[in-house]
């Protein structure tokens, strides 16, 4: 059960767009459309931002979008805002009926 691979950090200026990648294998990200993304602010519980690759839960800004190509999923945040500064984690269903998270990406809004 190896963790999915995410960049340790990304940064962008307010108003810009950033993309966070999440790379797995054909046994997880590439094999299923059950990729989700979570936002976590310091000291808080994670919050679901994207599910099933590209779906947004009610209440999540449409500035957040998700996609997948092969074994790599991506989270894009457009029109960066200061409040977007947080840690982001991807997660995927796996062929063993397990779940696996990415190592997390720290987003800094400059």
Note the residues at the interface with another protein (CB under 8 A): 1, 3, 32, 34, 36, 38, 40, 45-48, 51-52, 57, 87, 89, 91-93, 96-104
Query: How many Å apart are CA 86 and CA 10, to the nearest integer?
Result: 11
Q: Which is nearer to another protein, 3 or 110 (CB)?
A: 3
The minimum distance between CB 15 and another protein, in angstroms, equals 28
Q: Which is nearer to another protein, 45 or 82 (CB)?
A: 45
């Amino acid at each position: 059960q190896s963790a999915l691979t995410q960049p340790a950090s990304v940064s962008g200026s307010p108003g810009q767009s950033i993309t966070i990648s999440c790379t797995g294998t054909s046994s997880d990200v590439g094999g299923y459309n059950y990729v989700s993304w979570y936002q976590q602010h310091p000291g808080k519980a994670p919050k679901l931002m994207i599910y099933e690759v590209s779906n947004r839960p009610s209440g999540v800004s449409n500035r957040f979008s998700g996609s997948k190509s092969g074994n790599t999923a991506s989270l894009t945040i457009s029109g960066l805002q200061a409040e977007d500064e947080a840690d982001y984690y991807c997660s995927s269903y796996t062929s063993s009926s397990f779940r696996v998270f990415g190592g997390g990406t720290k987003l800094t809004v400059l």
